[in-house]
Amino acid sequence: MNKMIFIITLFTTFMHVAFAEINLAELEAKLKGDGLEGEIHGASADSKIFVLSYRNPKDFFDNIQLPLTSESPEVLTTLAHIKRHQFFIVKGEFITNRAPIKHINITSLKLSKDYVSELDHLPYQYKGDVIELNSKTEFIGRVHAMGEQGKMLVMEYKDRIVPVFVNEPASQALVSTLFRGDLVRVKYAVRTEPEAPTHLNLAKNQSLPANVKPIELLESLVKSHGSPIEKVGNLVKFSKSPQINTNIYALLVEDAGGTSIQYTLTNFNSPELFVKIREKLEKVWDENSVGAENDRNKLVNRKLVVHAKGISNMVDAGQANPQILINSLDDVFVEVLK
């Protein structure tokens, strides 16, 4: 396989969060010293969610996500304008709290590497509002991330990201088996602290009727791994970034409940076919680019409907997206809506 293609497919397949290999003491020493350099994984100013991704310089796949906060007005002003894929040198210290993952209290941060994206000139308007959670006790959403033996769960509520505390061993055991993108129903209570961003407590078994569970798996992505799959959805473009050195195309499946998931369209066995698939989709995209919209961390064109069939591929719990392995160029085509 061509080396460049092999790297691309690895990035697409195995992008995941790892917690076991990073030496936290070394990270804190950097935070308190010359600073820790990392990449912005996610930033939502109105939700006050900012997350730094640190990668082991010796191993790309050895990485950790670290939520950011600050007591400095100057730093808070800077945080309100950061964006995904920028690199910053951060100084500060880890916060001592009950969270299963470390949070950084920033005293200073400095931009070390900027990132220019096609998304920059297309403002995004969130469709969901975490305030809606205050009047509910359950919702159906996609798993965004999980870790720490099931103690940490991050959910997607519509197009918002919401951290969830999982306190009971039975629920932790279930969460530890989930895959990113799985569709689940969660029952919860809104935490009183921190005030922002909004955090949830997963309901406890003893607070629910005997036949009701705090978290229920509705759709398992790994269950279909290796099986034939056929999907229809809008064409998605993930622009090349510090992790992926070419554009990646996918199809977006949305439902009436506000959840969505994208399936990356690829082929691992034939570099030549992979290139042809990408070129076919890129040509249609470029010819209809005026219909592109910012969909938070990707571009979507709802005038382009992709029909794709192949083999379902979901090999890692933290895999960025499920994949459809296309066996023939004729197995993917795009319908252009008028």
Asked whether the predicted pLDDT for residue 148 surpasses 90, the reply is: no
Asked whether the predicted pLDDT for residue 283 surpasses 90, the reply is: yes
Locate the domains of the chain by residue range: 3-115, 130-219, 223-336
Report the run of H or E that residue 187 belongs to, with start and end: strand 183-190
Q: CATH topology for 3-115?
A: OB fold (Dihydrolipoamide Acetyltransferase, E2P) (2.40.50)
pLDDT of amino acid 267: 94
Asked whether the predicted pLDDT for residue 306 surpasses 90, the reply is: yes
CATH fit for domain 223-336, picks 1.10.3470, 2.40.30, 2.40.50, 2.30.180? 2.40.50
Q: What is the mean pLDDT of residues 232-250?
A: 90
Tell me the CA distances in angstroms from 12 to 27, 89, 218, 243, one per residue in order. Answer: 27, 26, 25, 9
Percent of the chain past pLDDT 90, that is, above it, reads 71
Tell me the CA distances in angstroms from 70 to 34, 60, 76, 132, 275, one per residue in order. Answer: 18, 28, 6, 26, 45
**3-class DSSP state of 222:** helix
pLDDT level of residue 263 (50, 70, 90 thresholds): very high
Q: What is the pLDDT of residues 152-178, one digit of tens each?
A: 999 999 999 999 999 999 999 999 999
- Give the Cβ contact number of residue 172 at 10 Å: 19
| Residue at 67: amino acid letter | P
Label residues 247-280 b or e (16+ Cβ within 10 Å = b). Answer: bbbbbbeeeeebbbbbbbbbbbeebebbebbbeb
pLDDT of amino acid 243: 74
DSSP assignment of 103-121 = -EEEEEEEEEE----GGGG
Residue 279's contacts (CB-CB under 8 Å, 6 or more residues apart) are none
**3-class DSSP state of 307:** strand
Could you say which architecture CATH assigns to the domain 130-219?
A: Beta Barrel (2.40)
| Largest Cα–Cα separation, the chain | 58
**Nearest Cα residue to 303 out of 311, 293, 295:** 293
Q: Do domains 130-219 and 223-336 have the same CATH topology?
A: yes
